[in-house]
Structure 1
Amino acid sequence: MNENNYLEHRIDRGQGSIYVREYAGKDPAFVLMHGFPDNLGIYDRLVPLLTAGGRRVVVFDFLGFGASDKPAGAKYSFEQQLGDLHAVVQGLNLNKIVPVGHDASGPAAVNYAIEHPEHVESVCLMNAFYVDSPTAKYPELIELFATTNLKALTQAILRSPEQFAWVLNFQRSKFQEHLKEDQKDFYAKFLGPLIDANFRNQPSSGPAFAQMTSQLFEELAKNAKRINKIWATAIPVQLIWGETDPYLNFGIAKHLQTLLKHSSLHVLPAGHWVQLDMPDRVAQIMLGNG
């Protein structure tokens, strides 16, 4: 263990390695996954509370994000992220896990339970997507990059730090519109810089972000055809949702409930990053004390 009380791992994924932190505790391990365009830092407030509850916790950066490799010419996809999760489970010899998906890692969490039910105790989703939902509204930044016939425009934006910064600032303001003042302050001091660093630091997360968003609508369609398989596994799914998220709103969680055999829904007065806005409450629910 290092001074931060976790073990660090690098797990090879062929086209690069992914960065993993492992905190000791009782199984099943919570395996926490981030969306785009952020990284494992979105769990900084939650991890200490889960480990204080005695649980083993694993958190990692997907290839192309955070401290994981960002090799030139790498191919990024939802399937690749599912493979990243499986590589972590195998690399750390995890038996039973609780995959925790936030935002764009919802598909990895659910599809891992479908493909490897023997390794999954339950699934936890936080303001995530899996299939298209009637109330879903995707962030303007995401929808822009997900619209494939605008690829020439989005590639030009990525090549211009000034233009991309403007788009990020616009999106940041939209996410903060319905947050409480203390939540806005935390966003400005912590979350905004975390996301910016993903793009500013070189090599950048820009290629991974652009490739992943371009596959968004295709992934939603694929998942619509296989969600019935999660019903067949009878694996319970815990939905923890920030109700003031203007995009991946709690209507998505309610829709998912209708598609799941065993699920529970907890709606909290928080925004998109519910684990940062209300970490104490989220930890209570995940640990079964909520």
Structure 2
Amino acid sequence: MNSYDLSAAITHRVTTTKGQVQVTEHPGEEPAIVMTHGFPDDSRIYQHLLPELQGRRAVTFDFLGYGKSGRDATWPLETGQREEELGAVLGALDLDKPVLVGHDIGGPVVIRYALANPTKVGGLVLLNTFFGDSPTLEFPEFIRFLADPHLAHLADDVIADPSILGWMLTFTDKRLNPGPPNPAGLGALAILPQFYGDQTQPDSIAAIRAWTADLFPAIAEQNEQIATGELAALDIPVTIAFGVNDPYLNAGVAEHLHELFPRSVVHTIADAAHWPQWDQPAATAVVITGT
């Protein structure tokens, strides 16, 4: 497999109104591909995909509170904060109509950014994500637990207990990543550090609690945007690509997105679950670079 010359990667610290965002840029041909992550992971979910994008300008970044980005934001999450972070990255790198890739909760971020700034976006690629209510939409049990305001105190106690937290994360990993546990897999690389921290980053507990607390209010806001007809009127290319083995953000959710963006193109990625960019990077790269 070809890979980027890591020495050619450029690291940026981009200032936003809430703190500094860590950005990694790989030089290459335009238009740039800008990739967002969801919760509770970080930009390392694209580690397998980046070599497949050889030759294209590719940008990944960690949202505030995650990965190597700043931890000095004031929580709770404010409406539009994640879109502002994305906009700050695009502006700092002076990107002209990039392709925005939204995965998981990063999907609503790129969609809302494109709706507000349609002339600044060259296209959207939506990977195992959602927007608004969908008849088949499910969230991992742990995420729903964290998002329920009635269970906030219990959730705080669970997160504070390493043994119970570990059991919850293992349960979720088994559902999202079919097959035997992989100590070198995506979970160990990009998810566990958000909860426990590691030698390169502190934990992301405050950011996780803030973003999950905003989940259902944000979906209500997305439903209001859907009702206005904004999504159907968006005049940029939209590609929807879903790993077929995702038990939560499933084929029905992909179809719902296609209904919201009637001119969109839908791809299914075989032998992939919630993170097709990790499970099947070559197939995912074909979809993204074709946008």
Indicate whether the TM-score tops 0.5: yes
Equivalent residue, structure 1, for 2:93: 92
The CA distance in 2 between the partners of 1:7 and 1:126, in whole Å, is 25
The CA distance in 2 between the partners of 1:251 and 1:81, in whole Å, is 26
C-alpha contact 1:8 1:20 (8 A) present in aligned 2: yes
Deviations 1:9-53 (CA, angstroms, capped at 9, x unpaired): 001123321100111112221100000000000001111211x2x
SS in 2 for 1:226: helix
Matched, 1:193 2:188: yes
Tell which deviates more after alignment, 153-162 or 33-42: 153-162
The residue identity in structure 2 corresponding to 1:17 is Q
Equivalent residue, structure 1, for 2:50: 47
How big is the shift at 1:147? 0.8
How big is the shift at 1:78? 5.8
C-alpha contact 2:126 2:241 (8 A) present in aligned 1: yes
The CA distance in 1 between the partners of 2:73 and 2:108, in whole Å, is 25
Question: Alpha carbons of 1:81 and 1:72: their partners in 2 closer, same or farther (altered >3 Å)?
Answer: closer
Question: Alpha carbons of 1:2 and 1:241: their partners in 2 closer, same or farther (altered >3 Å)?
Answer: closer
The CA distance in 1 between the partners of 2:175 and 2:287, in whole Å, is 28
Report the aligned-residue RMSD: 1.8
Equivalent residue, structure 2, for 1:283: 285
Gaps of 5+ in 2: none
Normalising by structure 2, we get a TM-score of 0.91
Equivalent residue, structure 1, for 2:9: 6
Gaps of 5+ in 1: none
SS in 2 for 1:84: helix
Question: Alpha carbons of 1:78 and 1:60: their partners in 2 closer, same or farther (altered >3 Å)?
Answer: farther
Equivalent residue, structure 2, for 1:34: 37
C-alpha contact 2:18 2:73 (8 A) present in aligned 1: no
Equivalent residue, structure 2, for 1:225: 224
Question: Alpha carbons of 1:9 and 1:2: their partners in 2 closer, same or farther (altered >3 Å)?
Answer: farther
Deviations 1:159-211 (CA, angstroms, capped at 9, x unpaired): 222221121111112223xx3x5xx56x5422121211111116311111111
The CA distance in 1 between the partners of 2:274 and 2:40, in whole Å, is 13
Equivalent residue, structure 1, for 2:80: 79
The CA distance in 2 between the partners of 1:72 and 1:264, in whole Å, is 37
How big is the shift at 1:77? 4.6
Question: Alpha carbons of 1:139 and 1:21: their partners in 2 closer, same or farther (altered >3 Å)?
Answer: same
1:120-135 matched pairs, under 5 angstroms: 120-135=121-136
Percent identity over paired residues: 37
Matched, 1:107 2:108: yes
The CA distance in 1 between the partners of 2:281 and 2:210, in whole Å, is 31
SS in 2 for 1:253: helix
The CA distance in 2 between the partners of 1:203 and 1:7, in whole Å, is 22
C-alpha contact 1:242 1:271 (8 A) present in aligned 2: yes
Q: How many correspondences in the alignment?
A: 281
1:95-174 matched pairs, under 5 angstroms: 95-174=96-175
Normalising by structure 1, we get a TM-score of 0.92
